[in-house]
Amino acid sequence: MRSLILISTTACLCLLAALPAFAGEIYENGPIQGDSDGWTINLGFIVSDTFTISGGNSTISGMSFGVWLFPGDELNTVEVSLTSNENGGTVYFDQNVAFTTSNCGGNSYGYDICMASGNFNGPTLANGTYWMNLQNATLVNNNGDGIYWDENSGVGCHSPGCPSLASENQVGMIPSEDFTLYGNAHSTVPEPGTIGLIASGVLGLAAMLKRRQF
């Protein structure tokens, strides 16, 4: 009987280990600060922050970040790229992503501070540290105002590898910015036929052990 329990438990654990992880946060660099500083992500400026993949091969499918806007402005798109080096090296993803804003409120400098969120079909990345670069942001009204990524220095972050390193293409290294990357961490999922074979094998072993008891 003890052998049967051990075999059944082992098989169940193997099945559980094969289940995929659910969609969620891949990396976060802390919440919006909103009243410290913001770095321009349009008008020719590029801001880059590191992020770390630590949960196995992960597909990036979206992100959110804090944005500073002049009152009345509405964020439209941002060019998002994921690279092996600071705004360079191997390019894993580079697209203009549509963003929507929410939870807006004013700060002491007179800007609207909003949470910007966007979804995209990003790459699948292995464990390691990469760079995310934001640039060429646009407004719905396209009036030429500046658009700024909120600086939080990674305060309050919880992900492995945080706080991020960060840089700006004109001044070099800077304090890091708030953002969260979303997606799926993958694990091997057995085919339905494989699951059936495992289940059949467990039942067969159970029957054989039962016969041996008599």
Helix, strand, or coil here: 111? coil
Closest to 26 in 3D by CA, of 143, 123, 146, 155: 123
Task: Please provide residue 163's backbone torsions phi and psi, each rounded to the nearest 5 degrees.
Answer: -75, 155
Say how many C-beta atoms besides its own lie within 10 A of residue 81's C-beta.
Answer: 19
Separation CA 196–CA 141 (nearest Å): 57
Element (H, E) at 187: none
Query: How is residue 199 written in tokens?
Result: 């289940």
pLDDT at residue 23, rounded to an integer: 67
3-state secondary structure of 36: coil
Q: Hey, which bits of the chain come out as E strands?
A: 24-28, 37-40, 47-53, 58-69, 75-85, 88-98, 100-106, 112-119, 124-125, 128-139, 148-151, 166-168, 172-174, 179-185
Q: Are 35 and 108 in contact (CB under 8 A)?
A: yes
DSSP helix/strand/coil, 37: strand
**One digit per residue, pLDDT tens: the chain, 214 residues?**
444 333 344 444 343 344 444 469 999 999 999 999 999 999 999 999 999 999 999 999 999 999 999 999 999 999 999 999 999 999 999 999 999 999 999 999 999 999 999 999 999 999 999 999 999 999 999 999 999 999 999 999 999 999 999 999 999 999 999 999 999 998 544 445 444 444 454 444 444 444 444 4
Q: Name 1's Cβ contacts closer than 8 Å, sequence gap at least 6.
A: 209, 213
Q: Is the pTM of this model over 0.85?
A: no
Q: Which two tokens stand for residue 169?
A: 């293409």
Q: Which residues pair with 119 in a beta bridge?
A: 62
Helix (H, G, I), strand (E, B) or coil at 48: strand
Per-residue exposure over 115-125, b if at least 16 CB sit within 10 Å of its own CB, e if not = bbbbeeebeeb
